[in-house]
Amino acid sequence: MGTEAWTTLGVLALVMALLVFTRVAPYLVLSAGLAILLTLGVVTEQEFLGGLANPGMVTVGVLFLVASGLRETGAMSWIAEPLLGQPRSTAAAQARMLGPIAALSAFMNNTPLVAVMLPVIHDWARKFGISVSKLLIPLSYASILGGACTLIGTSTVLVVDGLIQQEFGADRGMRMFDIAKVGLPCALVGLSYLLIFSRWLLPDRRAVLSPDDDAREYVVEMLIEDGSPLAGKTIERAGLRQLPGLFLIEIDRGEQVLPAVSSNVVLRERDRLVFAGIVESVVDLRKIRGLVPATNQVFKLDATRANRSLVEAVVSEACPIVGMTIREGGFRTRYNAAVIAVGRNGQRVKQKIGDIVLQAGDTLLLEARASFAAQHRNSRDFFLVSRIEDSTPPRHERAWVSLAILAAMVAAVTLGGLSMLNASILAAGGMILARCTPASVALRNVDWQVLVVIATAFGIGRAMQTSGAAEGVTTWLVSLAGSDPHVILAILCGVTMVFTNVMNANAAAVLMFPIAVSTAQELSASGMTVSHMPFVIAIIMGATSSFATPIGYQTNLMVMGPGGYHFNDFLKIGVPLSLLVWLTSVLLIPRIWPF
């Protein structure tokens, strides 16, 4: 190997060391590594920027927009609620969750899937008194296992497919279910392992932060609207008895008041439900389909519900309606905002909203335009104004549209012959045009750091190829394995698995792809006729086995904080799972894709 090859390997070693031993963000580390290679002349400016034009990277970015439409319409809750149900134990909760998550991940990129399901699973666990640390690592692992069953399930498969098309031509790309031949057996083995052993290998630990620690408490009235799916269900079946951080005080039913509500009470249309609880749980309450704020002032606001959010405002002495009731002061007309609830010195204010006499220091929970906080931040009428994040009501009426768009995208790729990039662009445009998500919100939901990691990894992978580093490593691997393709395949899969757990799944796939191709070419040059496909599939399965560390894949990082996990928690449960997937892959790949 020449100077450029050793330089590339040195930069790669530095990148891996920084990713393992420091807390520097992966996108910064990989960007710095590629910048060094550009400065040293190992890659050209075109190669430096080449990753930005790769179909796999662009497809991942566009799929974030598709996921935004599913999230903003609450479509995932439509799917999740009946599947997750009401488990009686931790084992039952895991059994209910793992299969559906793996199945959904096969048809929805697993990074946005985990982003959408994380709050759903978190609230579901709290509702039924299950430690969230028993569920969030399985959530991430199930999405990874399911993602390796289709072309669109994970960004890593899309990235490798982009490399295959770039190297061998667009007609040589993978079809939707090609990877399922090995991915599905690995998923079944992995899910069985999680069901059997995770109850002992996972910690029973609270999340680092819990909204139950919040001292802000409100009384809020909600209405069962006409045609609500909650009507005709008991309190327990509707899921309103065990809401985290909320207590159902009473139900107002016309002239009848039902205090100390039993779990067996059947809900009716137009019932007014009075809850007491913390602000984060009020946000969750407003996301339940068929349940709307009871105050009629909400329906008089001049902004659609999709353009509103919750805002907290502390009333100052200078507010002109201090000493007056909310109704007398004409709060909605004056501020174009509806008061949902009032908090006073941490105590519950038990009067109806319109009858509450405002005092200086009262904390108001408002439904208003998203711009309300910016407009009134410096107003003398309020001491403090702050917008509650993620409090825009879901567009439930558009949920069926977003699901139809997702189904059409999958069908277009599977049956219609469209490329994944083409279909995902059409689906993203459909989500925005059908008003499932505003374009501004969709762009905010894109994880730009993930895209930078993928793009920069392409650049480093290109350097491995052009510098001769990949060929040098290939020659060493072939000599180590004695030219036995089965042994080489096992080594390639294992090395990729190590790389993916210490750096990044997409980076590992991109860096190992040229080595896999060079290995097939080297073996063919020695007199054997060897296809590149078995080695490429081995790279994919190794790269998608990001179980042993939190830094290997973004979904592991996403669940680490909310689950209160430590680095060793991933090692304890992830290393055996990685070995099981490696063994299954090594045994099956040569039988499905002969050398």
Instruction: Render pLDDT for 157-171 as a digit per residue (tens, 0 to 9).
Output: 888 888 888 888 777
Tell me what pLDDT residue 538 has: 94
CA Rg, the chain, in Å? 27
- 141: closest CA among 182, 87, 178, 195? 195
Q: What is the pTM of this model?
A: 0.68
Q: In what order do the strands lie in the sheet with 272-278?
A: 256-259, 246-253, 272-278, 217-224, 291-293
Tell me what pLDDT residue 183 has: 95
464-510 residue pLDDT tens: 778 888 667 766 766 776 678 888 899 889 988 887 876 667 777 88
Tell me what pLDDT residue 504 has: 67
- Most confidently predicted of 77-86, 294-303, 374-383, 433-442: 433-442
Has residue 11 got a pLDDT over 70? yes
> Between the CA of residue 303 and those of 108, 368, 374, what are the distances in Å?
32, 8, 16
Tell me what pLDDT residue 212 has: 45
Superfamily the domain 214-387 falls into? Regulator of K+ conductance, C-terminal domain (3.30.70.1450)
Least confident span in 17-26, 434-443, 579-588: 17-26
529-562 residue pLDDT tens: 567 889 999 999 999 998 998 766 778 877 877 7
Tell me what pLDDT residue 207 has: 44
Q: What is the 3-state secondary structure (H, E, C) of 520-581?
A: HHHHHHCCCCCCCHHHHHHHHHHHCCCCCCCCCCHHHHHHHHHHCCCHHHHHHHHHHHHHHH
Has residue 213 got a pLDDT over 50? no
Tell me what pLDDT residue 35 has: 93
276-315 residue pLDDT tens: 777 777 777 777 888 887 766 555 555 566 667 888 888 9
Q: Where are the domains of the chain?
A: 3-44+452-592, 214-387
**Structure tokens, 191:** 């899910």
Query: How many CB atoms lie under 10 A from the CB of residue 407?
Result: 12
Has residue 462 got a pLDDT over 60? yes
